[in-house]
Every structure is written in structure tokens, then in C-alpha cells.
Amino acid sequence: MTTMFSTPKLCSYPECKAVAKKTWALLPLCYGHHDTIRLETLKYYANRMPYDHRQHYLQIARLIKRITPFYAQSVKKSDGVVKKTNEMPNRPIEALDFTIKTYAALKRNGINFENELRKKSYEEITSLRNIGRKSVEEIEETLGIEFKPAKEDAK
Ligand SMILES: [Zn+2]
């Protein structure tokens, strides 16, 4: 009888050698570190816990940045204000400043990165479960975008 073993992935947390069982923004992590970072993030979104109290998260934030592709662009807002978004990575939604409600709803809808949001039309975003008007506004503000209707009126 033969059994195939694949090499287990190790936790990405600095100095941690435990086997990775979970991922956080595509980074493999052990149960312990995944849980600590998840809890820090929940606290952060619930009470706006200051960033420097998210010690475990900050340890891996640099790694998350490294694996996410960077792009540079300027976003022109409806009021004509050009918002510079140079060197903005395709950030995992964990790294964005969403409320816990919006964050949880996006996760439940299988959305993990900001570029998945940028691609959506207004109809698509509002058809997601638990994404109401407030969440849509929040996403638009956070990303500096405006969701456009799927079909333009043919003229
Ligand atoms: Zn670990």
C-alpha cells in the first residue's frame, strides 16, 4: 500500500515553523496565528482598535503586500477631484477600512480582493447578499470609485 504525502506548507508568520492549516489573504498560517490575526481584525473593525495594537497582523502585513500585485492609477471622482492612488496594491479586503458588517458580507459573497469590487457594476454589487445601500456607499468611499450601471442607455 502506498500513500502519497505532499510536503505540508509551513506557517508564514515570522519564525513560526508550525504546519499551515489556514490562509489569511492567501498567506498560509497555522491555526494559532490565523486565529490571533482574525481576532485582532475583528476587534479592529468593531472598536477601531489602533493599528499598532494589531501586532500579529502587522507582522504579516508586509508579507501580504509582497504577494499582491501593485498598480498605479488615478481615480477621477464624480466631483472632478482626482484622487491619486499611486502604488495601490490589489489589497485583500482585510487590509481595507471596512466596517465589520460590510467586511463580513463581502467575505460571505466570496470577495477577497479590492479588484473584485472594482470590476463590479452597480447591479452586481447591490445584488450581493447583505450588501445594502450603506455598504455600497462605504465601498465606493473606501476605494474612491463609483459603481456604474451595467447597461448604459442606448442613445
Ligand atoms: Zn504560526
Q: Where are the domains of the chain?
A: 22-67, 91-143
Amino acid at position 129, single letter: R
The CA 143 to ligand 1 mean position distance, Å, reads: 31
The CA 58 to ligand 1 mean position distance, Å, reads: 14
Nearest Cα neighbor of 138 from 109, 105, 110 is 105
CA-to-CA dists, residue 37 to 2, 17, 24, 26, 70, angstroms: 38, 17, 8, 13, 23
Would the pTM of this model clear 0.75, i.e. be above it?
no
- 91-143: which CATH number, 1.10.150.20, 3.20.20.120, 3.40.640.10, 3.40.50.970? 1.10.150.20
Q: Is the pLDDT of residue 74 over 70?
A: no
The CA 52 to ligand 1 mean position distance, Å, reads: 20
pLDDT digit string (tens) for 31-41? 999 999 988 88
